[in-house]
Amino acid sequence: MATHKLHNTLSLGERDTLANKEGERRTVFFTKKLAEKEGSYARTGQYLGEWKHNKWDGKGTFEQANGTRYVGEWQGGKRNGVGTLWVKQKGQLRKRYAGQWVNDMPHGRGVHYYPNGDNFNGEWKNGVRHGVGTLQYSNNGGVYEGDWFNNRRHGFGVFDYVNGDHFEGMWVEDKKEGEGVHFYFDGVKKAHTKRYDGEWVDDAPKCGYYTEMPPDELVPASHMPDPLPRTQVCEPEEIISQQLREIRDARSHVRAKRIPIDEHFTSEELEALQVAFSRIDVLDCGEISLADFPQAFSQVGMDPTEEDMARILAHLCKDASPETMFSFAEFSQAADFLSPLEGQGGEPTS
């Protein structure tokens, strides 16, 4: 009774001070009231760990009602630092992500284990794969190691196939695009016996040279190569060179995307572009229309003229239709294309 009377004499501020949690605490449970049953509650989660200013801060474990569990570091009530996320599948806890976090999202180095058996070990940025990393595919046993941008294979990367083949080259938005070399593995000779050097367009080889690999000193069977068919074309070198030039000219607007956009902007500028793009892309479909461009540009303080937009469309080889769609990479290219106009007053460069 005395405690009840004391509680009634406290001011609202004094009650809040007593309710604040600091330092290491026992498990705190979170519940919600059930409407269908008077006086009953259901547990929604529980936290065991350190607090600061009434927020999770330090080391702690949070478990949700569905079994999802995070064990690691917190700051200001959010996952910040190093931690591991577990999810419950078929009655068992399975590791989903282990690594660095910033503001509740994977950010930095970390390993992600996908439900289909794939796993990614590499760099993250704001919750997506971004930087350098390795993805092990479970469905075909292939492995990609290389550059990533905005959750896609983008830049230079290598791919090892389950049959022993090996590819090294450029990628644009998850597809092989540009110069690359494909090494063919002979399962009988246990060595790479042939190679293709050339240009790739939209994930397929378009033009190049097919040659025998030199013998491998450690593999005796490779000293007896399979003969290549004789070339019957007159002046093949000139023909292939011309084809390569035509392909590179035709695909230049696509391959411009492979230049790491991070190098064109500061981290603050790139984050501002991502925020502007996300505010327009409310459905999170990864694209915005040409009609949305003025609003997106206004978010970052840019106001391109009709002439500017015409030059951007020509640079990106896009139609002038309001329904024409643009990815974030293309939106960033457009912003980078306009930057010299604002800063230098000169002609933009590609």
Q: 282: domain CATH number? A: 1.10.238.10
Residue 107 lies in a domain: no
Whole-number Å distance between alpha carbons of 243 and 237: 10
Whole-number Å distance between alpha carbons of 183 and 290: 41
Q: Using 50, 70 and 90 to split pLDDT, how confident is the model at 11?
A: low
Q: Quick check: 343 pLDDT over 60?
A: no
- Mean pLDDT of the 322-336 span: 85
Residue 187 lies in a domain: yes
- Select the more confidently predicted residue: 182 or 139: 182
Residue 111 lies in a domain: no
Contact 47, 61 (CB under 8 A): yes
Residue 164 lies in a domain: no
Whether residue 222 sits in one domain with residue 295: no
Q: Using 50, 70 and 90 to split pLDDT, how confident is the model at 211?
A: confident
Q: Which residue pairs, CB below 8 angstroms and at least 24 apart, start in 182-188?
A: 183/213, 185/161, 186/222, 186/226, 187/163, 188/221
pLDDT tens digit string along 214-230? 777 777 776 776 666 66
Whether residue 271 sits in one domain with residue 254: no
Domain assignment of residue 321, given as a range: 267-343
**Residue-level pLDDT at 216:** 76
Residue ending a domain, among 69, 97, 125, is: 97
Residue ending a domain, among 52, 73, 97, is: 97
**Residue-level pLDDT at 345:** 35
Whether residue 277 sits in one domain with residue 210: no
**Residue-level pLDDT at 134:** 98
Count other Cβ atoms within 10 Å, centred on residue 27: 10
Question: What is the end-to-end Cα distance of the chain in Å, rounded?
Answer: 79
Q: Quick check: 103 pLDDT over 90?
A: yes
Residue 112 lies in a domain: no
Q: Which of 26-30, 75-79, 99-103 has the lowest mean pLDDT?
A: 26-30
Residue 80 lies in a domain: yes
**Residue-level pLDDT at 118:** 95
Q: Quick check: 7 pLDDT over 60?
A: no
Q: Which of 51-55, 254-258, 345-349 has the lowest mean pLDDT?
A: 345-349
Whether residue 252 sits in one domain with residue 176: yes
Q: Quick check: 1 pLDDT over 80?
A: no
Mean pLDDT comparison of 27-31, 111-115, 258-262, 341-345, highest-scoring range: 111-115
Whole-number Å distance between alpha carbons of 170 and 255: 9
Residue ending a domain, among 97, 114, 134, is: 97
- Select the more confidently predicted residue: 10 or 222: 222
pLDDT tens digit string along 65-86? 899 999 999 999 999 999 999 9
pTM of this structure: 0.66
Whether residue 252 sits in one domain with residue 302: no
- Select the more confidently predicted residue: 101 or 344: 101
Whether residue 254 sits in one domain with residue 175: yes
Type of residue at 10: L
Strand partners, 174: none
Total count of domains within the chain? 3
**Residue-level pLDDT at 337:** 78
Contact 106, 120 (CB under 8 A): no
Residue 138 lies in a domain: no
Whether residue 233 sits in one domain with residue 301: no
